[in-house]
Amino acid sequence: MSFDIEAVRNDFPIFEQTTRGKPLVFLDSAASAQKPRPVLDAMWELYTTSYANIHRGVYELSERSTAAFEASREKVRRFIGAADAREIVFVRGTTEAINLVAATFARARVGSGDEVLITHMEHHSNIVPWQLLCDQAGARLRVAPIDDRGALQMDEFEKLITPRTKLAAFAHVSNALGTVNPVRELVELAHREGVPVLVDGAQAVPHQAVDVQELGCDFYAFSSHKLFGPSGVGVLWGRAEHLEAMPPYQSGGEMVLTVSFEKSTWNDIPHKFEAGTPDIAGVVGLGAAIDYLTGLGLDAVTTYERTLLDYATHALEAIPGLRLIGTAPHKAAVLSFALDGVHPHDVGTILDREGIAVRTGHHCAQPVMERFGVPATVRASLALYNRESDVDALVSGLQRVREVFR
């Protein structure tokens, strides 16, 4: 499928404006992506034609709203290659998905002296829930190291899987480094020892096709807002047999079958994990985002972004005093860097004056910063709507930073 970048940009109303009097150069999609018109339209349409609470009403509006909501579940199922729509749990985002697994599945199997294995490149939301769990259970958090390029040290990961390991959790793609992990291989290593695997797919799904059955993992988590959908919605995919065996997470309406003061019984999956009224329009918007991406063709997106990443990598490497942090052989569209003698926040502020939005800071990955001996980095992250001219603007902006700090 060919990729028409100008047509794609026209789908995103945000690019119709200027910021700081300059055309908007948006290089922070790893934090949150912009939204195409079909996503906004789908939510507008739901609210203006079919909105009502779901799974409850016997009237037509509620039926329509429920149908739109459940149609999104089926879209997500197809999008990630899940076997069954019952395996798709709607949550608030990746963070909540990981907390759900930590508080239910992992809580029930991790005890005193056990271990949970993560990697050194994780986002805080794939560190802290496991840390809390380990503290509560008297278990130990083990961390597989990364090398100087930001690639996972596979042999060390393998060595850290022992009979004490009760769960492994790692990112598909690192938000701070862009490293793409060999998920299938890692899952095989873990499963060989009977260790279930959760994959944090927050930074993977916007950039590449994902098939959870092919990856072989047990849980996969991602957020709608990084996938060009609305914020406040995310997905936990889990194997049906796990979800069925897991105790509930949050409790209240919808997740129950019967309630009495003596005892309550639980609804079927996935509803058992969807207590309370969900973000109905958000889920519908996520479905539209998936339709949009599928319409472009994820393989075409991946190919386009790879060329753009190569272009950007070469352009940044040519800047004197710029150190790229995260140079693993397999990378997605993230460029983290430090500029000699200039604090990342100053870089970000000067770039902002040029209309260029980048992220500066530790990117919720403080252990990564510590591993590379920097307090923070500048992060330019690319998405399907970026073009070479955005990279050129970044390079010019960095020249401007140099002039200011000469």
Q: Which residues of this chain interact with ligand PLP, rule CB under 6 A?
A: 93-95, 123, 125-126, 171, 175, 200, 202-203, 223, 225, 364
- Distance of closest approach, residue 217 Cβ to ligand PLP, in angstroms: 15
**Between residues 166 and 359, which has the closer beta carbon with respect to ligand PLP?**
359
CA angle 366, 372, 377 (to 5 degrees): 65
Cα dihedral sign, 194-195-196-199: negative
- Distance of closest approach, residue 333 Cβ to ligand PLP, in angstroms: 12
On whether the CB atoms of residues 359 and 28 are closer than 8 A, the answer is: yes
Cα separation of 372 and 363, whole Å?
Answer: 14
- Distance of closest approach, residue 146 Cβ to ligand PLP, in angstroms: 14
**Between residues 102 and 319, which has the closer beta carbon with respect to ligand PLP?**
102
Residues 6+ apart with CB under 8 A from 353: 20
- Phi, psi dihedral angles at 198 (to 5 degrees): -105, 130
**Between residues 267 and 386, which has the closer beta carbon with respect to ligand PLP?**
386
Q: Where are the beta strands (DSSP E) in 110-262?
A: 115-119, 140-144, 165-171, 197-200, 219-223, 234-238, 256-259
Cα dihedral sign, 268-269-275-280: negative
**Between residues 319 and 365, which has the closer beta carbon with respect to ligand PLP?**
365
Residues acting as catalytic residues: 364
- Distance of closest approach, residue 224 Cβ to ligand PLP, in angstroms: 8
- Distance of closest approach, residue 175 Cβ to ligand PLP, in angstroms: 3
Cα separation of 37 and 292, whole Å?
Answer: 9
- Distance of closest approach, residue 301 Cβ to ligand PLP, in angstroms: 18
**Between residues 91 and 398, which has the closer beta carbon with respect to ligand PLP?**
91
On whether the CB atoms of residues 383 and 226 are closer than 8 A, the answer is: no
**Between residues 51 and 249, which has the closer beta carbon with respect to ligand PLP?**
249
Q: Where are the beta strands (DSSP E) in 64-178?
A: 88-91, 115-119, 140-144, 165-171
Residue 169 corresponds to which amino acid?
Answer: A
Query: Taking the C-alpha atoms of 77, 78, 80 and 86 in order, what is their torsion angle to the nearest 10 degrees?
Result: 20
